[in-house]
Chain A
Amino acid sequence: MERIQLKGRARKGHGSASSRRARLDGWVPANIYGHGKANMSFYVRHDEIFRHITDEARLMTIDVGGQTDSGLVKELQFDAFGDQIIHVDFTRVSLDEIIETSVVVHVAGNAKGVASGGVLDVVHHEILVRGQAQNIPDTIEVDVTELGVGDAIRVKDLGLPEGIEALAGEDEPVVIVHDRVVEEEPTEEGEAPEETPGA
């Protein structure tokens, strides 16, 4: 994982009212915890964290008033429309520590099977992996150009970096090209639903 530098601001007030005010000013409330140290609450800039999160970065170096910690994004909360991050939880990690985290699968290319009438099914959009924090990739690229109808890319075909192991079964499919199923349109008119007796 690439290390992202993130500058935070210490939190003075806690609770929903101060968080709401901070969000209106473009800040996101965040926490970092773990490694036997005290929890720390801080704010980060929304545009900055949103950009890093959409770029699939999960490991960040957080600097809050001179105190620096390496944190892995543990939990993300979005608003109802998914446009804004409303809270971030980080867990402290050392770069040489063995961690378990999920890595996003990026599908690249157009499958041959899709051109010949198949449907591309991404079974796992994320894969759970274990390895040293500094060696875990941000994304796993899966090239599907050679996939025909009925073919699949399985966990063992992913080509993970050395020292990183997938926690899913090695024969678990990640991407499959299915044969196209034509839906049959029912022609009969529906009847009124039955009322539960005794209700």
Chain B
Amino acid sequence: MALMPKRVKHRKVHKGRVRRNATRGNYVAFGEYGLMCLQGGWITARQIEAGRIAANHFLGGEGKVRIRVFPHKPVSKKPAETRMGKGKGEPEFWVAVVRPGTIIYEIQGAQELSAKTALNRAAHKMPIRVKMVSRRPKV
């Protein structure tokens, strides 16, 4: 089942704009390797789920895949063959808003080659350009 909030304050929200680079959630925090966005945009709950399944399917239980983004934003859509007006459409799906630099997935406990291939499988499900990254040096 795709991710979605259990409870929201407002059913419909404005479109908004994705500006500037990520200043949080932009480093590998839990695992050893991660998938980082190179562009800003929206990733739908279905795409997140498809990427997770693709990565987990390749790993076959070798490591643990963590999802670092959550689709908080509802996207509404007007029904087909409807005249304009009569108010905003009904919420249709959920998206995670990502900025350049955001980590989408992390893999923990897998060998580098397996993690790289698994993240590559997940990357094919993404609507934006992404790259694989490893942990940053820390002090």
Contacts and interface: CB of A to CB of B under 8 A. Distances in A.
A54 B134 CA distance: 11
- Number of chain B interface residues as a range: 35 or more
Contacts of A25: none
Interface in A107-158: 110, 114, 117, 119-122, 125-126
B68 interface: no
* Interface residue SS majority, chain B: loop
A196 B7 CA distance: 7
Interface string B1-42: 110111111110000000001110011000010001010000
Contact of B6 (A81, A122, A194): A194
Contacts, number: 88
Contacts of B120: none
B56 A183 contact: yes
Contacts of B63: 119-120
Interface stretch (A5-13, A28-36, A69-77, A159-167): A69-77
A195 B8 contact: yes
A65 interface: no
Given A53-B137, A82-B136, A196-B8, A119 B100 contact: no
Given A82-B27, A186-B1, A193-B8, 7 more contacts: A80-B21, A101-B139, A119-B62, A189-B1, A190-B4, A195-B8, A196-B9
